[in-house]
Every structure is written in structure tokens, then in C-alpha cells.
Structure 1
Amino acid sequence: MNTILVICTANVCRSPMAEALFKQALPSLRVLSAGIDAVPGMRADPRVVALLESEGLYVGEHRSQQLFSWMIEAAYPVLVMSERQKRVVEHRHPAARGRVFRLLEECDISDPYKKGAEAYRVTHSNICEGVERWSWHLSRLEAEAKSGVCA
């Protein structure tokens, strides 16, 4: 459990946001992001860049990338934004079954792309909640692995 993989559709809004937040929350872990339908080399959405910069996080150098099998093989957990994305990832990469989870298991996190500022705020809030939950869970797993004792 050294790598977290965060996936969305185009790798320009939700997954770069989650990647930056995970890197801040869990600096000892490697965090990757990708898109199931990404056009390689696209910059992060300017509204995402501005929103994260207001929190002291910089994603201006981010470039979108497609999802590759090696990413899935290297990661646990593999986190997606929607149930549809989970099905797509598991269909395209059968070895991922059982390791793919929604960032918020109880609901999909909607794509704010080309929507208003409120959509970006709601998406950001949902992603922050998911990152907080997963960070707590992964920190416990890491502590258990180091101590050899289940908490």
C-alpha cells in the first residue's frame, strides 16, 4: 500500500483535485491520477487550479493522462468518482476487481466541468470528505502494518 490511484473521466477536474489533497494529507504515500477517457497533456481546469491555490495547493503543472494497467497494478486503493467509472475500470482491467472503490462509497461525485462556481464548490467539498475518510482509513492500515498489531 504505497500508491493511491485516483480516477475520473478526463483527469482535469476531480482526480487532480483529489490527488493534490491526498498528497497533502498522506505525504508518505505516492498518489497518481488518471482519466478513463483522458486526452493526454491537458492542463487542470483553471477553476480547479484557482480553488486549490486558495488552499495553498498548486496543480498548475498537472497534465492529464490516460489510465494504464501498470497504474492499477501498482495501486491500492484505486478510487473513482462514480459507480459508472468503477464498472468501466473493472471491465477494462479485470485484475482491478476488489480494489476499486468510489471515493465516497455512498454517492457519486459529480463532474463540475463547464458548470458554475457552485458545482465546483460542491465537488470540492465532496472530494475533501472522501479524502479525509480514506486518509484516516489508510493511516490506520499503515500503522497496523508497521506495528504488526491490528487496531
Structure 2
Amino acid sequence: MFDRILVVCTANICRSPVAEVLLKEILPNHTVESAGTMVSASKLTNASAHHYSLQVCAEHGFDLSCHAARQLSPELCAQFDLILVMSHDHIEEVAQLSPGSRSKTMLLGQWIGQGDIDDPVHQPKEAFDSLFRTLVRATDAWVQKLT
């Protein structure tokens, strides 16, 4: 039903790459990718994951070293069955970019009672540690709904 999952955040360097690697680990028979709504505008196309995202993932046995940030596009949205976003604003941004994708766009934090998952980009490493824990809970909850 949802074999192809796209995870979306703003710059595709902090939140969505971490959620992508977590979902890939627990859903090995699914296609899971990520993108950002403001990658091009932020001049981050092909940027690596944020150094704290890389560090936190490595501490938990996940490798983000091959990540390259990419811009969300209507064509990309069309390729996926489910689009998981980090905030209510992202839902609106996806809907504006690809109106037909609105019905398949949902909050990543929905099943853990968390509307928005905040961007830790300019915060200390502890914020990324907290983000990782939140994303583990959120991705685990999604996996329970999808399997």
C-alpha cells in the first residue's frame, strides 16, 4: 500500500535525513527517500547532512555520510505513495507545490501526539540528541501503522 515513502523537512540536512535512515532500517523492503522544501533557496543542493545529524546517527550505528540534500519537486512528490513531513507548514508547502499530493501528506509526529518536529539547525548537539529520540519514536509509530 505505502511502498514508497518520502520524508520532507526544510533544508534536507537535519531532520529528514535522520528519519529517512531510521525508516530504511526498519522497512528494508520499502523505498524511503528524503527532500527539503527550501534546499534550492538555501543554496544547499547536494549538501551533506548537518554535522550533528551525522554524529548522532553514527553514535547509534547509522551512516548518513552519503546523504546529499535535494529540493522537493512536483515530479518527486508524484513518485511516492506517502509523504511524511515535519510540520503543518510543510503540509501546506507540499500542497502548494503539488496539489495532488495533499491527500498523501501527513505529519511524521502524528502517531506520537506531536504536531511539529522542530528544526534543531542552529542549536547545540543536545537538540540533535533530542531530535533523534523523537524521530525514533515517530518512525516506530509509523512502522506499526504501516505493517
Does TM, normalized by the shorter one, top 0.5? yes
* In 2: Cα distance, 1:27 partner to 1:70 partner: 24
Secondary structure in structure 2 of the residue aligned to 1:78: strand
Percent of matched pairs sharing the same residue: 30
1:3, distance to aligned residue in structure 2 (A): 0.7
Secondary structure in structure 2 of the residue aligned to 1:134: helix
The alignment status of 1:125 with 2:137, answered yes or no, reads no
Aligned with 2:118 (options 107, 110, 121): 110
1:107, distance to aligned residue in structure 2 (A): 1.7
CA contact (8 A) 2:74 2:97 kept: no
Q: Deviation per CA, 1:67-120, whole angstroms, max 9, x where unpaired?
A: 122221121210000001111111111011111001012420000102012211
Runs of 4+ in 1 over 4 A off after TM superposition: none
* In 2: Cα distance, 1:78 partner to 1:126 partner: 18
Aligned with 2:88 (options 83, 88, 91): 83
Partner of 1:143: none
Amino acid at match of 2:36: G
Amino acid at match of 2:21: A
Partner of 2:60: 55
The alignment status of 1:46 with 2:51, answered yes or no, reads yes
Partner of 1:11: 12
Amino acid at match of 1:50: Q
Amino acid at match of 2:140: E
1:13, distance to aligned residue in structure 2 (A): 0.5
Structure 2 runs not aligned, ≥5 long: none
Secondary structure in structure 1 of the residue aligned to 2:84: strand
* In 1: Cα distance, 2:82 partner to 2:137 partner: 16
* In 2: Cα distance, 1:90 partner to 1:125 partner: 28
Q: Deviation per CA, 1:117-138, whole angstroms, max 9, x where unpaired?
A: 2211221111111100111111
Amino acid at match of 1:19: E
